[in-house]
């Protein structure tokens, strides 16, 4: 397929030179949304008028920059889609849930604020599993998103709307959130590049809380180079999030072109290959493509060596106890009293029970209950307490690994995109989709997913690199070197331009 959008770096140069206006780019994205979103359903909300106003402001900044010879920020005039668990002032924030239907927040998330400050144009809000709880975007109360490569397949989740929007050319860049793989897995399923930063590298202010010790705000784009531009703009300490730090990465990404160093190749880079991520049951084409990608990295000078991460098999139960426990506390705030819809009843308690019981979807209710159970008297030590101790052992696996290697390479998911409705009503089967992405969240380390091939049905395959805390630079530069040597990330799905 012909490229639908050039890279962000190319767009940026065209905008700076005045060969392209932000209004033209924004209109291209809006037209693409109007023509393909009716059958992908990646967007829950988009606002052409507001976007075009922002584009005109960006064009004024670009014109002024040309006049006075001072370059504008590189993202000026570039369009962005924002996952609908992240607050944008004046745009509805639903979290894919009926319990927030009609809620319009008056404030921007810090990441959104910084990207607006960098001149980005916000197109709208993208679909998500309800409160980011899911691996397919099927748990949205507003209907599923479809995979641009095959509309009978899921786009992954929970940032499925953002991944589908980038993969189909509706937006060059998107924000997502990753609590257990929700940026990396949809990036893999849709054939785009997605970064889950180090826990604490990007402010969570304005990201609706799910699992507070796990939540990370990340970015999706068509290449490591594109994603690096967004990461650079959103990372760094924020007085509004006491867990947000990030003094380290700045010294690695100091230039206007963050990844220019990577032409030096990957000589001396040690990449660990954990046996535990190449398990029985993994789709053979996924394993083959990931191993081929590792061979390509070796060809670029990296050294691959086997490592052991013996507690990996416990990541799933640990995550699915800790994340729901934290969610059960975080979602206690949705009671229908202060904001969102309220279902009236005779007594206050009945109001809570009805509002929550009827307006939360099935998966959210399951997780709240699982968390409440794991925290409840008599079960706390056996479940939540044991999970917290096992989390220490999983962190220890990463600490040991990073004494021997610089990065870890692994599949993102055991399969390519599965069919919509394929997991029926079987929550455990859905949870098993996350086995390779959960450990990075439990350890708080960064992970980057990028495309490394296709299966025989033409569905994208992703690989992830995981690195030590604050080493997003290593992940991005390694993926950039890979993408300079391959063209998987340049493939476009052959989408029809009208609903089918």
Catalytic residue set = 83, 158, 182
435 touches another protein (CB under 8 A): no
Per-residue CA distances from 471 to 91, 251, 304, 336 (Å): 33, 11, 18, 42
333 touches another protein (CB under 8 A): no
Token pair belonging to 200: 């604490």
Closest C-alpha to 231, from 193, 191, 190, 287: 193
Among 1, 332, 419, 490, binds another protein (CB under 8 A): 332
Which residues in 241-260 contact another protein (CB under 8 A)?
A: 242-245
Query: How many Cβ atoms from other residues are within 10 Å of residue 365's Cβ?
Result: 14
Terminal-to-terminal C-alpha distance of the chain = 19
Pairing of strands 460-466, 407-411: antiparallel
In this chain, which stretch among 177-185, 422-430, 452-460, 488-496 interacts with another protein, using CB under 8 A? 422-430
Which residues in 357-376 contact another protein (CB under 8 A)?
A: 357-358, 360, 362, 365-366, 368-370, 372-373, 376
**Residue 209 burial (CB < 10 Å; 0-12/13-18/19+)?**
middle
107 touches another protein (CB under 8 A): yes
Of 148 and 336, CB closest to another protein: 336
At residue 299, the 3 state secondary structure works out as helix
335 touches another protein (CB under 8 A): yes
351 touches another protein (CB under 8 A): yes
Among 60, 104, 152, 256, binds another protein (CB under 8 A): 104
Torsion angles phi and psi, residue 374, rounded to 5:
-65, -25
Of 33 and 216, CB closest to another protein: 216
101 touches another protein (CB under 8 A): no
Token pair belonging to 229: 């531009």
197 touches another protein (CB under 8 A): no
Among 60, 152, 337, 490, binds another protein (CB under 8 A): 337
What minimum distance in Å lies between the beta carbon of 358 and another protein? 7
**Residue 20 burial (CB < 10 Å; 0-12/13-18/19+)?**
buried
Token pair belonging to 57: 């402001």
Count residues binding another protein (CB under 8 A): 78
Q: Which helix (H) or strand (E) holds 219?
A: strand 216-221
53 touches another protein (CB under 8 A): no
What minimum distance in Å lies between the beta carbon of 265 and another protein? 28
105 touches another protein (CB under 8 A): yes
Among 28, 50, 298, 386, binds another protein (CB under 8 A): 386
Of 119 and 336, CB closest to another protein: 336
336 touches another protein (CB under 8 A): yes
Listed in sequence order, the residues at least 6 apart from 178 whose beta carbon sits closer than 8 Å to its beta carbon are 159, 184, 194, 196, 215, 216, 217, 218, 437, 441, 447
User: In DSSP terms, which residues pair with 445 in a beta bridge?
Assistant: none
Measure the CA–CA gap between 256 and 243, rounded to whole angstroms: 27
What minimum distance in Å lies between the beta carbon of 123 and another protein? 23
Site string for another protein, 389-418 (x = CB under 8 A): xxxxx-x-----------------------
What is the CA angle 10-484-5, rounded to 5?
30
User: In DSSP terms, which residues pair with 121 in a beta bridge?
Assistant: 79
Of 290 and 364, CB closest to another protein: 364
Residue 347 CA, chain-centre distance (Å), reads 41
6 touches another protein (CB under 8 A): no
Site string for another protein, 310-329 (x = CB under 8 A): -x-xx-xxx-xx------x-
Measure the CA–CA gap between 256 and 326, rounded to whole angstroms: 39
What minimum distance in Å lies between the beta carbon of 222 and another protein? 30
Site string for another protein, 133-172 (x = CB under 8 A): ----------------------------------------
């Amino acid at each position: 397929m012909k490229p639908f959008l050039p890279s962000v770096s190319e767009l940026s140069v065209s905008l700076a030179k005045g060969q392209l206006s932000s209004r033209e780019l924004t209109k291209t994205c809006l037209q693409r949304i109007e023509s393909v979103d009716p059958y992908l359903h990646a967007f829950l909300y988009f606002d052409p008028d507001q976007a075009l106003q922002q584009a005109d402001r960006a064009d004024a900044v670009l014109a002024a920059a040309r006049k006075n010879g001072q370059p504008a920020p590189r993202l000026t005039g570039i369009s962005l889609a924002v996952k609908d668990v992240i607050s944008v002032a004046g745009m509805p924030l639903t979290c894919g849930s009926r319990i927030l239907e009609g809620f319009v927040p008056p404030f921007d998330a810090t990441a959104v604020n910084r990207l607006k400050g960098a001149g980005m144009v916000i197109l709208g809000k993208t679909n998500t599993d309800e409160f980011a709880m899911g691996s397919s975007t099927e748990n949205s109360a507003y209907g599923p998103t479809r995979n641009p490569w095959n509309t009978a397949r899921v786009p992954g989740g929970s940032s499925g709307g953002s991944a589908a929007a980038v993969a189909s050319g509706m937006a060059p860049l998107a924000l997502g959130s990753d609590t257990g793989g929700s940026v990396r897995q949809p990036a893999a399923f849709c054939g785009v590049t997605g970064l889950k930063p180090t826990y604490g590298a990007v402010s969570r202010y304005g990201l609706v809380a799910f699992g507070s010790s796990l939540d990370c705000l990340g970015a999706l784009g068509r290449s490591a180079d594109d994603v690096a531009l967004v990461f650079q703009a959103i990372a760094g300490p924020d007085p509004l999030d006491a867990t947000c730090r990030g003094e380290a990465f700045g010294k690695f990404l100091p230039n206007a072109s963050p990844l220019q160093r990577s032409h030096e190749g990957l000589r001396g880079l040690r990449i660990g290959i954990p046996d535990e991520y190449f398990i029985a049951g993994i789709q053979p084409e996924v394993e083959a493509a990931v191993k081929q990608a590792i061979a390509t990295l070796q060809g670029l000078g990296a050294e691959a060596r086997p490592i052991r991460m013996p507690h990996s098999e416990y990541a799933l139960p640990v995550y699915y106890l800790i994340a729901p426990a934290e969610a059960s506390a975080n979602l206690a705030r949705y009671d229908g009293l202060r904001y969102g819809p309220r279902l009236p009843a005779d007594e206050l308690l009945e109001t809570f029970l009805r509002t929550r019981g009827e307006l939360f979807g099935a998966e959210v209710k399951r997780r709240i209950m699982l968390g409440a159970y794991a925290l409840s008297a008599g079960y706390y030590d056996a479940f939540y307490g044991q999970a917290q101790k096992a989390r220490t052992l999983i962190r220890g696996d990463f600490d040991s690994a990073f004494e021997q290697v610089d990065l870890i390479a692994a599949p993102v998911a055991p399969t390519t995109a599965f069919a919509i409705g394929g997991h029926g009503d079987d929550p455990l089967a859905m949870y098993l989709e996350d086995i390779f992405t959960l450990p990075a969240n439990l350890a708080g380390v960064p992970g980057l997913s990028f495309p490394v091939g296709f299966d025989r049905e033409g569905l994208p395959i992703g690989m992830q690199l995981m690195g030590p805390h604050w080493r997003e630079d290593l992940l991005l530069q390694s993926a950039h070197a890979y993408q300079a040597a391959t063209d998987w990330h340049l493939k476009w799905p052959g989408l029809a331009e009208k609903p089918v």
